[in-house]
Each structure stands twice: as structure tokens, then as C-alpha cells.
A and B are shown apart, each in its own frame.
Chain A
Amino acid sequence: MTATLVFLALLMAVFVSWLLRQSINVQPWVAQSETARQVSHLPEGFTAARVGLAVFVAVATSLFALTISAYMMRMHMGNDWRHLHAPQLLWVNTVMLLFGSIALQWAWGGAKRGDPSALRFGLATGGACSIAFIVGQYFVWRQLNAAGYYVAANPANAFFFMMTALHALHLLGGLVAWARTVRRVWRGWAPAQVRGSVELCALYWHYLFIVWVVLFGLVLMH
């Protein structure tokens, strides 16, 4: 549970320090007449959509941290853990996901600059790379099955299959948001109008890339 507790401690520390600033030297019982004078308490960039994504990322991180905690705990239980031999294809997939992430960043830049061709190129490449990643993961599963690493044969295999499936499901969820954005661009929305959605996609992809690197590192670690 160490991984999860570290994550939660960090999260709580951020939350508590933020709340401290909101509550120290404040006298809630004092009424105040000039409500309109008050300035925004959250920095400019905090939109509802971004905060929503941040909250979702926190939930997903909790899910992956708990999975990793369970992985570490199960490794030392039962004396039956045999490490999985990671197929070389995983490296290719990792690069694919990295390209997807970079491409969406490119698309975000295009949306910011009002450059429709960069936006389209970035979105198309990002989606293609992500689909390639998921297809690649499927081939990794087939390779593992062919090599005798069945899901039920060893807890290391079972964890690998479960973690990759969870990660791919999160990516598929992201692709739904990506598809909506692509449809809007297709229908001729201006870059400024889709900027918000492209931005959320790019940030979410960066997050999923980091999660993938951690999970992959965990599998490589002996």
C-alpha cells in the first residue's frame, strides 16, 4: 500500500495547503458588503473543464496506484512469482504512444495559433498513433499467449494482462473524446472553438503516457 499512501499523502498535502490559504485569517461570521470587489481566488487558467480533467486524473491515479500496490504485495506472497519476459514489441508501442502524445501537443499548439493545418495533422497523427498503440498491445497479448505466458499461469502474467487492459481502456475513453473533437474539426469548426477539447486530449495523453512508462518500468524491473 506504500505507493497508494504516498500518492494520497501528496494529494492531501496539496489540498490542505490550499485550504489553509482559504481559511487562515478569515472570519466567516463577518458580513461583507462589497461582493463585486472580490477578485478571483483561482488562477486565471482554472476552467471547469481543466479542473474536471484534474479530478479525473486523480481518480485514475488512485486506480493505478492501487493496482501497483497490489502488484508489489502479491509479488512477495505465495513464492510463485515468475517475472514475465517482456516482448520487444512493447518498446515499439511505447514509442507509438509517445508520438501520439507529441502529436496532440502539436495539435494543441496549432489550435492556439489558429493554424488549422497543424491542428488537423496533429489530431490525425495523434489518433493514428494511439490506435496503433492499442493494436500493438493486442499483438503483445497474442505473442505472450503464443509463448506460453497465459493469463492464469502466473500472477505476474495476470497482472500484466490486467494492467495493460486497464490502461488501454483509459486510452479508449480518451479516443472517444478525441473522436468528438475530430468530428467538430471535420464539420469546419474554427481552431479557437475546438481549442478547449484539443487541450484536454493532449493533457490526458501526456498523463496516460506517464502511466504507461511507470507500468512498463514495473514489468521490466526484476
Chain B
Amino acid sequence: MAALGHDAVSYAPPAEVEDVELVHPKTFVGKYIWSQDAKIIAIQYGITATAIGLVGLALSLLMRLQLGFPNTFSLIDPSSYLQFVSIHGMIMVIYLLTALFLGGFGNYLIPLMCGARDMAFPYVNMLSYWVYLFAVLLLVASFFVEGGPTGAGWTLYPPQAISPGTPGIDGGIVLMLVSLAFFIVGFTMGGLNYVVTVLQLRTRGMTLMRLPLTVWGIFMATVLALLAFPALFVSALMMLLDRLLGTSFFLPEMLTMGEQSSHRGGNPLLFQHLFWFFGHPEVYIVALPAFGIVSDLLATHARRHIFGYRMMVWAIVAIGALSFVVWAHHMYVSGMNPYFGFLFATTTLIIAVPTAIKVYNWVLTLWHGNIRLTVPMLFAIGFIFTFVNGGLSGLFLGNVTVDVPLSDTYFVVGHFHMVMAVAPILVVFGAIYHWYPKITGRMLNELSGKIHFWVTFLGTYAIYYPMHYLGFQGVPRRYFAYGETAFISDSVQTVNTAITIAAIIVALSQMLFLFNLIWSYFRGRDAGPNPWKATTLEWQTPHTPPRHGNFGAELPAVYRWAYDYSVPGAKQDFIPQNVPPEQVEALLPHADKARA
């Protein structure tokens, strides 16, 4: 800290941040139901996403029971199995992960970390949650309509999604598509808030290059989502018209059950292009917030500044931009021109460069760090392992020639669950263990957290690693049963049974986590304002949990980046962002001696 320089930059947020007028409701309903406080909205998002996520978890267990112990459970038939597959995927990707990262963590952390009183448009922010809840209810409603929910797979490919023979073509698929449309409308309302708040409402001194990486990750993911979700919106709308009004956007002329369909000349490939134009950015909509959060967890719990901060920011931006030009790598087996496939294989492999930069920087952050194996840190390190493992199998699938034989096998299932299910959910857990003390004022139980981590971490490897082997055997995904198939060896059934047992154990450990959340809320150890000795602004609030308006009478001023841990020469091992350099000098009784 001896060399306290003053950078001579001419940019910064406004010197005077206008104080916003907040609505301060007095009633319980106004405070906690129709709340316009981003922190309450975040918790509403979190609870709703967790609830629907538990439905997704239950569906996955039902699938695993069928695969592990075929023909044992009478409630699972081929149709319902396909419905479980479809709704499980849809819930986990969109209604759980997207909503939890952006609606949950975005709402809680963006205003606090930027030093704002609330989001830019609190009323629209409130509407965003209620529209999201409505979308979730529509999805749940599809379980109770005639024919049940759609069984078209989470990708909803036409023509089968709306053709006879697929489960849920009556009400199920219509509710699914309408629910997606509402989700997108609700998300757009929230997304406007996240972007404008980051751009406009940062406090004095909070330059872009001083933002914690969590905010960067959520910000860029929101930008991606705002631009990519319209593709899903358009494709859902067009499929809805095909289904309800008999248009032929996607549906070709078909003979179904001996009858000529009324559709003419539509092209299912058009849907695939639109869907994956959304679908691939969606991977990064889920991954970028995880990248950002994990960077902050690693720095805080290793007591070391993040390695290569600017590189990390640019990597986030590069990944975001590149994610729009790789969509067709999901369509290698759709009969595309080989040159087209080559082009998309190239862009896909290029995206590995910024991603690898991030991984190296995380590892280098740990290097020589004062690593504290707290529960959030365990999850953060677990994420690095899982993300690397999942990413490496992505290199195989990104190459056309390797992808063609592996397409639609369990190799793909293993890959995407490692990279975009387990890896982000480990970060979600780490983030909850990290920020729960700020949200509730109490610590989560540590022993229970460690058990939760080890069972989840090792358990998911027991689930998804063997799936790669199944994929090499050529075991196709989405099948209810395999029967007598020559190329599938007997060991496959043994592996499937083992995977199912592991899945049940992992699911049970999540119950331990939920119990911990509830138990600690009432009985947890008192956390104090800053239990992890972190530098970012949310830990510097006058109240824990922060009250409406976040920062008391005056907004904080920011003097430094978010990573002043173990600063050489400083007495404290961390310097919060709102501590001016003069006060740091005061912490150094021997500074003069050291300089001499």
C-alpha cells in the first residue's frame, strides 16, 4: 500500500448521484407481497425458482427410477417418461437457473454492489416477478390439463411437438409455449432494470472497472438474454400459430396415422435455427453469472485479488459476443452443408479461448492465496473442476466428425449436465452459503454445509461420469427402455442402476440443504455485518439485513476496486471499497518506518 497512486482518468459515474424517491409501504402486503424493493423481489424469485426447481428434481428422480429399475414402477409409462424429460429440462434451464441467477442474485446484488438505493424502475421490477410467477403457474397447470404436459423434449422440435403421437399436443404444448412467452415478457421487464441500474445508478467513484465481477457477469448475461430471448419468443409464437391456426411456418406436408395433414411446405429446420439462436446464448446466460460470482467467491475466500481483472471482464464480453455465432453446432446432424458445419466448429473452438483464460485466472487467483476452505470456497473450487471437466467433453462435441456418432447419446447428456447443470448449481449453492448471512443476518450451519457439498460434488460425478461411457456405447438419450439391443452391453443396466442410486443420494442431500436454510434462519449463529471480511459494498451496509434503501442516509463513495485483499503493507487483510486511501494510511502505524 506504500505506493498509493491516483489514476488520472476523466471518466467516472456522476459526482453527485441523485437520490431516488422510494415507495415506503407501511403494510405487510405492501412490504412483502407487492414489494418494489429489489431485495424482497430477489427473495420472491429465489423461493419461486427453488419451488419449481424441486419439481424438476422430482421429475429427474422419476426418470432415473425407470432407467435404473425398468418396469418396476407402474406410474411411469413411455408417455409420462417423455413428459418428465421435457418438463425437467425446461424447468431446470429456464424457470430455475435463468430466473435464479438473474431474477434472484441479479436483484439482490446489483443495487447493493453498485451502491444504489434500488433498481432504476422498481415498479416494472415488481411486475417482472409477478409475470414470472404467472409463467411458472401456466407451466404447472399443464400437468393438470387433458393429455398432460408436452413430451416433445425440452427443445420442442417440430413437427413432433405438435403432431399426433407425441404426449401433450392438446393443452400441454399450448400452455408450454404461452408460458415461455410470458416468461420472456417478465424477464424483459427485469432485464431492463438490471442493465439500466448497472449503467446509470452506480454510486460516486464506482467506475466500470471497479465493479465486482459478479455484477459484470450478471450484466453481460442480461444483455445476452435480452437479445436472445426474442428468438425463443418468435419461435414459440410461430409454433403456436402452427398449432392453433394451422399455419405452416415449421410443419411440412405429412402423413400422420394414415391421414394427410393440412400443413404445407413448412420447414422444421427454421425452428431449429431460431431455437438454437436462443439456445446457445442461453448456456452463457446461465454460465456468465456463475463465472462472475465464482470469481468473487474465490478472491474473498483466498484473501487474494482476482488475477487479471481486466482480462476477466473482456473474457466475459468476448464469450457473450461469440455465443451468438455458434448456434448451429447443435444442428450438425440436421443435414447441413459440411462447410457450414466447419465454420461453426471453428467458432465453437474459438470460444474455448476466453473461457480458458477465465479458468487460468481462477487458478492463478488461488496460487499463493491464503485459502480458507469455507463452504462457499468448497463449492467455488468444485465449480472449477466440474466446469473444466464439462468443458473438455465439449471440445469433442464441438467437432463435427466426433459429434455425429455421439449425437443424441448419453455422452451429450453427461456433457451438458456437467457444464451447464452441475457447474452453475454448485455456484448457486456457494453463493447462497456466501450471501445468506447478509440476507438473513445468520450463518448457515457449516457441518451440514460441508456434508451437502461433498455428497453433491462426489455424487454428481457418480451420476454424470458414467454417462460418458454409456454414450460411447451408443446408448441413445430420451429412451424409455432399451429392450434387447445388440450394441448395448449388459453392463449398461448395471451402470444405470448405480447412477439411479447416486441420484437418489444426491437428491436427499438437497433436502439437508433446504433444512439448513430453514433451521439457520431461526437458530443460526449471528453473522454480524461482514462475516467473510469482504470488500464489496453489500457487506458495508449500516444494517444487516440491509433495509429498504440499502445504505442509510448517505450513499457510499467508492475509492478502490473490489479486490483489495492482503494488500502489501496494510494492517488489515482487506480494505472495503468505500474506505478512502487516507484511512488506510491510518491503519499503518509503521508505514513511515517501512518506507524508510
Q: A32-B560, A48-B201 are in contact. List 11 more A-B contacts (CB 8 A).
A: A8-B324, A28-B309, A30-B560, A31-B5, A31-B581, A39-B11, A41-B13, A74-B267, A151-B241, A151-B245, A152-B245
Task: List 10 interface pairs A-B (beta carbons < 8 Å), by A numbering.
Answer: A16-B317, A23-B208, A32-B581, A48-B201, A55-B192, A63-B234, A66-B231, A70-B270, A78-B264, A79-B265
Residues of B within 8 A of A29 (CB): 305, 309, 561, 563-564
Contact of B15 among A33, A40, A48, A79 (CB under 8 A): A40
A48 touches which of B200, B262, B265 (Cβ 8 Å): B200
Task: State how many angstroms separate the Cβ of B352 from the closest Cβ of chain A.
Answer: 20
Question: Number of contact residues on B: which range applies?
Answer: 35 or more
B4 CB within 8 Å of chain A: yes
Q: State whether A58 touches B227 (Cβ < 8 A).
A: yes
- Given the known interface contacts A1-B273, A41-B207, A162-B237, the answer about A33 and B6 at a Cβ–Cβ threshold of 8 Å is yes
Please classify how large the interface on chain A is, using the bins under 10, 10 to 19, 20 to 34, 35 or more. 35 or more
Q: Let me know if A38 and B205 touch, CB within 8 A.
A: yes
Closest-CB distance, A29 to chain B (whole angstroms): 6
Roughly how many angstroms separate A115 CA and B196 CA in the complex, as a whole number? 31
Give Cα A19 to B5, complex, Å. Answer: 23
Q: Quick check: B234 and A67 within 8 Å, CB to CB? A: yes
The answer to whether A155 touches B249 (Cβ under 8 A) is yes
Contact check, A26 vs B227: say whether CB atoms are below 8 A apart. Answer: no
Interface membership of A59, Cβ < 8 A:
yes
| Contact call A23/B227, Cβ cutoff below 8 A | no
Instruction: Check if A22 is an interface residue, CB within 8 A of chain B.
Output: yes
**Bound complex: CA of A46 vs CA of B265, how far in Å?**
48
**Mask for A148-165, Cβ within 8 A of B = 1, else 0?**
000110010010001000
Q: Which A residues are in CB contact (< 8 Å) with B387?
A: none
Interface string of B216-227 (1 = CB under 8 A from A): 000000010011
Are the CB atoms of A41 and B12 closer together than 8 Å?
Answer: yes
- Residues in B with CB closer than 8 Å to A135 are none
Q: Is A11 an interface residue (CB 8 A)?
A: yes
Report Cα–Cα, A31/B205, bound state, in Å. Answer: 10
The interface residues of chain B lying within 8 Å CB-to-CB of A33 are 4, 6, 559, 580-582
How distant is B282 from chain A, measured CB to nearest CB, in Å? 14
Residues in B neighbouring A78, C-beta threshold 8 A: 248, 252, 264-267
B90: interface (CB < 8 Å): no
* B9 CB–A CB distance under 8 Å: yes
B6-A35 in contact (CB<8A): no
A2 to B61, CA, bound (A): 42
Which residues on B are within 8 Å of A, measured CB to CB? 4-7, 9-15, 120-121, 188, 191-192, 195-196, 199-201, 204-205, 207-210, 223, 226-228, 230-231, 233-234, 237-238, 241, 245-249, 252, 262, 264-267, 269-270, 273-274, 277, 305, 309-310, 313-314, 317, 321, 324-325, 557-561, 563-564, 575, 580-582, 584
Cβ-defined contact, A32 with B559, below 8 A: yes
Could you say which of A22, A32, A63 contacts B233, with CB atoms under 8 Å apart? A63
Q: Which residues of A contact B199 (CB under 8 A)?
A: 42, 51
> In the complex, which residues of chain B have a beta carbon less than 8 angstroms from the beta carbon of A67?
234
Q: Is A214 an interface residue (CB 8 A)?
A: no
A26, A31, A52, A74 pick with most chain B CB within 10 angstroms: A31
List residues of chain A with CB within 8 A of the CB of B209: 22-23, 26, 28
CA–CA, A33 and B558, complex, Å: 9
* Chain B residues near A8 (CB-CB < 8 A): 227, 324
Residues of A within 8 A of B223 (CB): 15
Q: Do A31 and B252 have beta carbons less than 8 Å apart?
A: no
Whole-angstrom distance from the CB of B579 to the nearest CB of chain A? 9
Given A5-B324, A19-B208, A70-B234, answer yes or no on A56-B241 (Cβ-Cβ < 8 Å): no
In angstroms, Cα B249 to Cα A80, docked, is 11
Interface: A221 (CB within 8 A): no
Please tell me if the beta carbons of A36 and B227 are within 8 angstroms of each other in the complex: no
Min CB–CB distance A34 → chain B (angstroms) = 7
Say if the beta carbon of A21 comes within 8 Å of chain B: yes
A59 touching B237, Cβ below 8 Å: no
The answer to whether A158 touches B310, judged by C-beta atoms less than 8 angstroms apart, is no
The answer to whether A197 has its CB under 8 Å from any CB of chain B is no
* Per-residue B-contact encoding for A44-78, CB less than 8 Å = 1, 0 else: 00111001100110110011001100100110011
